[in-house]
Amino acid sequence: MTARLFVAIAAASFLAAGCPGVTAAADTVQGDSAALIADMLVRAQCAYQAGDYEKAFDLTRAASAAGDAQAQFNLGVLYSKGHGIPKNYGEAAEWYLKAANQGHRGAMLNLSVIMSEGLAGERDLRFAAELRRLAGRPEGMRPAGPGLSAQGSEVGGPQTSAEPAAGAAASQQGAASPAGRARSPWTRLIPWAGLAAAAVIAGLVLRRRRPLPRAKLDIMLRTICDASVPAKPAYGVFQRYLMHGGDAAAVPAERLYAVFVGAGRQDDLFGVRGLTVPQRLALAKRFSDAGRNAEALRLILDDAVLAGLACQEDSTHDTVRLFERACRLEDLVARMAKAPPEVSTPFAKALLWVGKTSACARMLRAKRSLTPGEERLLANAVGSEPDGGSPEPSRLLGGRYQLGAMVAEGGRGIVYEGFEPRLDRKIAIKKMRREIRADPRVRQHFIAEARMMSKANHPYIVSIHDVIEDGGELYLIMDFVEGRCLSDILPERGRLPLAECRDILRFVCEAVEFAHHKNILHRDLKPGNVMINKEGFALVMDFGLAREAKDTVSRMTSSNVSGSPAYMAPEQHLGQAYRSSDVYSIAAMLYEMLTGNIPYHGPDFLSQKERRVYEPITQVVKNIPKGCDELLAMAFDPDPKTRISSPMAFYERLKAV
């Protein structure tokens, strides 16, 4: 390093002395070098515009190593935006400084933003002000935001030397020609200081980043994996670990999640190269458990990743659940319809396993050709979904009900649009799963409970009009509600205002209170069982039947087809249910509506609920009254006898908050 600096300083001094022969030779070499650098920058610009950020980064890095100020500025842009490399404001600041030392005013402006905001470490307002002064910017003007000057010097990504960044053309000296760079403001004002700085920068540029010895990388890896190390320092060590040749696959997925989320850099996680397929799946599950389904799918929504997930049965099941939670199962169906059999077949089996038989059938029907194995899967999907295919639309079910198009599919059956000619009304027809009707004792109990529910008429309950058996199938005839499930609304809205939560839960609490007076427990209250109709009223579905159907299917398939148990009261995990169990579920819904997240994340739900391990609402959402925490503390009481006993009592306390 010292030798390189000495040579650079000596060469710079010799050229500064004005030796004619050497200057002429240097001009020739400089002209060839400038042409080569200009070509690299043009190719980098084309690659950037085409979306090939890695190629753009490699070309820009090569041009930067040659000392070109515009290339160094462009490299700073790539680092600050995270294009082609994980976002790193520290590296961006280094390259902006190198370009600024050559008089690049756009680099000065962007570096002033980084220093004034403290994006690369401690804030240095004096240095930022000096940079703005040198760039010709008035002291009172403030940059528009991190990494972007008020004149937009980074808009549009990296630029070629012939096409400087927008707003910086007039202020850059040296972006168009090497001669211009030699006459920078710093060199004119402080000749010897500028020459020494140029020599130092030349030595830094000549230094190539070499991989660290294995022992040092191991030390860095242990630091990253140490749970006692705070997230922000661990994040910085992880960035240096990658830059020096470290392997991201060596860091456990759970620790990666904790470091990036804890440091507030979760968006950078999606740009980390070298993550394995199991790591991506584990991270996706972690994001999904936190209610961040869009980020979860972003980690696995790639053909190569899905092909890797198809190699293991458990991975395909988990992937299907992730798409289902995000309400984007059709995206998976569309991708698998175009995938080769070795990828699509495992996912078809997974769709059958979790009860998504119609989705499986749609996927296989959309394929151009089927292997013998896929043909058998299609036959199973059509023949057993949830059981025997769709009934004949032209035939009246039970001699009374016309069957229309399928509108939804769940773990307990398929819902069709229907019509009852005798009463001239639209209805919903739910065809129940095979497991429910397979056991005669369970079948009769289910029918008796459905008929009892048909007598519970309330304006905020989706009524069951009839239960019929036709052709060996079991159907429920229900109200047809034009609206949306609360479970579909929450992912789009995120958090709901407290006043809106009160309005929705007023309908829910009145409906559940009415059912309790009829000695009917819901036992499976959750956003998926609450419909919001066009008038804005909330209606509760599947009273009593939901848990019965779920328990039956779970016993016969050894699977949990109703999803997360996050809304269940602790005693329900032990097979018991009381009126206060429904109150517990309503409180869990309120928590999710206010925070956008479920209160408990598992996997040991019962233990967490017994110990009340959840984050108070006032610590998650600002401007929420403390009375909400007190209300949930009473509703989340693990003892059903001391818990708030009735839904309307819960609502009255909520109204008073």
Active site positions, annotated = 524
Q: What is the DSSP letter of 302?
A: S
Strands annotated E in 314-375 = none
* Helices within 574-644 (DSSP H only): 579-595, 605-611, 617-620, 626-635
DSSP states of 92-141: HHHHHHHHHTTT-HHHHHHHHHHHHHTTTSS--HHHHHHHHHHTT--TT-
Using CB atoms within 10 Å of the CB of residue 48, give its burial: 0 to 12 exposed, 13 to 18 middle, 19+ buried.
Answer: buried
Cβ–Cβ < 8 Å for 363, 333: yes
In a 3-state reduction of DSSP, which class is residue 56? helix
Q: Hey, is 468 helix, strand or coil?
A: strand
Question: Interior CA angle at 424 toward 419 and 426, to 5°?
Answer: 35
Cα 610 from chain centroid (whole Å):
30
Q: Are 544 and 449 in contact (CB under 8 A)?
A: yes
Q: Is 476 helix (H, G, I), strand (E, B) or coil?
A: strand
Helix (H, G, I), strand (E, B) or coil at 449: helix
3 state DSSP class of 170 = coil
Q: Please name every residue paired with 163 in a beta bridge, in sequence order, or none if there are none.
A: 160
- 87 three-class SS: coil
